[in-house]
Every structure is written in structure tokens, then in C-alpha cells.
Structure 1
């Protein structure tokens, strides 16, 4: 059985500042490009039968720099739509909503480009991705290039937990990879947030 290689896109100005970048398409920084390139030697030995990516530039560029080919853009891998919190840091949000927690409180609606999305909607998208990927793993590894919060939701759904359990995982750093695997038919997290 193959493994699911989950890659977080490289650093952007907003990931560096802690701003919520859901649907806003921000380019990689020079450090983000370097981190993406550094993933190539770790991915090269893998027998990848498929590669999926968020269609946002920061993810597709990470895939390209990491040496991944035949990348299929998948709209279900786009980051959480943060609605009215797009571009804000958690500290800025807490100025008007003390004690705010993304996993518990969600987001507020934004403009037409950022209507907002609730956790269960993100989970439904990751479940759809996993349904498409699981059959492919019988032939080898599958790589997915995505975003921080979405990766956490996808991971907990992989191991069969409710999406709210995503808060139990640390935020994957930009330009890192995680490995989701199975043992005796049971899913588990083999590696998390590895540079």
C-alpha cells in the first residue's frame, strides 16, 4: 500500500506574517522557493502514481519547484475560505472577538470573493479528495500539495477523526511534508511537519 505525501506550499509574505491567506493567491517568497526546491531530493525516490495540488499559484509553484510532474489541480484542495477574516492575523481577529478560535468559532462572511466557509464544509472537501486518492494508493504513493489548515483537516479525516480534532495537530510549516500511511489496514500519521 502506498503512502499519501502531504506537502504544504512554501512560505509567502502572509504565512510569514501570520495572515490568513485562504483564497488570496500570494506568490512564494525567495525562502519559500528555496524550501520547495529542497523537497525535491526527498520526493525523487518515491514512486508517485499521482500528484494533486491546490490550483492556487503558491501550491502549484511549490509542486513545480519540488520536481513534481503531471500535477493535477484539484479545487477541493484550496485553503479554507476565511471570509471576513481573509488577510487578518489571529491577534487582529481577537481584537474584536476576544478568545476567538478558528476551530471552535469559525469565520464570518466576507465579500463576494471571500464568502466564508465553515469547518464541516472544509471537511467535506477533504473527504472528497481522500475518496479519490485511496484507490490510487494500491499502485504506489500519491502526493498532495496544499495549505496549512486544509492539511490539518485532511489529516484528521485520514485517521477517521472528526474535523474538530484538527486543533490537536501543530500547524505544518511552509515547505514541509507529512506522510499519511496505513498499517494492517489502519490509517496513521507516519511523519508530520518534516522539513
Structure 2
């Protein structure tokens, strides 16, 4: 059985400044492009059988620069829809909502382009992705190029945990790799935040 390779897209101006970029299509910075290219040698060693990506350009471009081919855009890999918090930093949100925690408190509704999404909705999307990926792992490794919060929910759902457990997992840095596999028949996180 192969492993699920979870790749976070490279750096963007918003990730650099700590702004929440859910559905806003923010391009990679030069540093983000360099980090994506730096993943290519490691990914070439693995040669994933199938590659899925968020349809947002920062993920698709990361896949391309990392040398991944045959990428299949999957709307279920879009980042959490942050609703009214789109484009804000945690500090800005906490100024109006002291003690706010994304995993506990969620988001507030936004405009028509950013209506917002609950953690359960994000988990349902990652569960659907995992349902499609699990059978493909019999053919070898599968790569997913996605986003930070989405990757954390995907990882804990791989482990069979409640989606709120994603708050206990370190945020993957832009342009890094995680490996989800199995050990003695049980799902494990084999690696996380690998540059």
C-alpha cells in the first residue's frame, strides 16, 4: 500500500502576513515558487500514481513547479471557507472576538463569495477525498496539493479522529510535505512539515 503525500502550497503574500486565504485565489510569491521547486527531487523519488490538487492557482502552480504531472483538480480540496474572516489575520479577528479559536469557534458568515463554512463541512469534504483516495493507494503513493487548515483536517480524519483534533496538529508550513500511511494496519502520520 502506498502513502498519502500531503503537500501544502508554497508561500503567498497572505500566508506571509498571516491573513486567512480560504477561497481568495492568491498567487505564490517568488519564495513560494522556490519552495515548490525544492520539493521536486523528493517527490521524483516517490513518483505518485495519482495527484489531486485544490483548483486554486497557488496549489496548481505548486504541483506544477514540484514536477507533479497529471494533476486532477478537486473542489473538495479547497481551503476552509473563512466567511467574514477572509483576508483578516488572527490578531484582527481576536480584536473583535477576544479568545477566538478557529477550531472551537469557527467563522462568521461573509459575502456571497465567502459565505463561510463550519468545521463539520470541511471534515465532510476531506472524508469524501479520503474515500476516493483509499482504493487508489493499492496502486502506490497518492499526492494531494492543498492548504494548511484543510491538510490538518485531512490528517486527523485519516487517523479516524474528530475534526477538532486538527487544532492539536502543527500548522504545515508553506511548501512542505506530510506523509500519511499505516503501521501494523493502523493509520499513522509518518511525517509532517518536511521541507
Length-normalised TM-score, structure 2: 0.99
Task: Name 2:52's counterpart in structure 1.
Answer: 52
Task: Name 1:8's counterpart in structure 2.
Answer: 8
Task: Name 1:90's counterpart in structure 2.
Answer: 90
Structure 1 gaps, min length 5 = none
SS in 1 for 2:150: helix
- Deviation, structure 1 residue 96: 0.5
- Deviation, structure 1 residue 139: 1.1
Task: Give matches, 1:145-184, under 5 Å.
Answer: 145-184=145-184
Deviations 1:87-130 (A, max 9, x none): 00000000110000000000000000000000000000000000
SS in 1 for 2:55: coil
Task: Give matches, 1:49-88, under 5 Å.
Answer: 49-88=49-88
- Does residue 36 in structure 1 map to residue 60 in structure 2? no
RMSD: 0.4
Task: Name 2:193's counterpart in structure 1.
Answer: 193
CA distance in 2, matches of 1:67, 1:156: 27
- Deviation, structure 1 residue 51: 0.1
- Deviation, structure 1 residue 184: 2.0
Deviations 1:5-24 (A, max 9, x none): 00000000000000000000
- Deviation, structure 1 residue 47: 3.3
Task: Name 1:134's counterpart in structure 2.
Answer: 134
Length-normalised TM-score, structure 1: 0.99
Task: Name 1:17's counterpart in structure 2.
Answer: 17
CA distance in 1, matches of 2:48, 2:62: 16
CA distance in 1, matches of 2:194, 2:60: 20
CA distance in 1, matches of 2:61, 2:36: 8
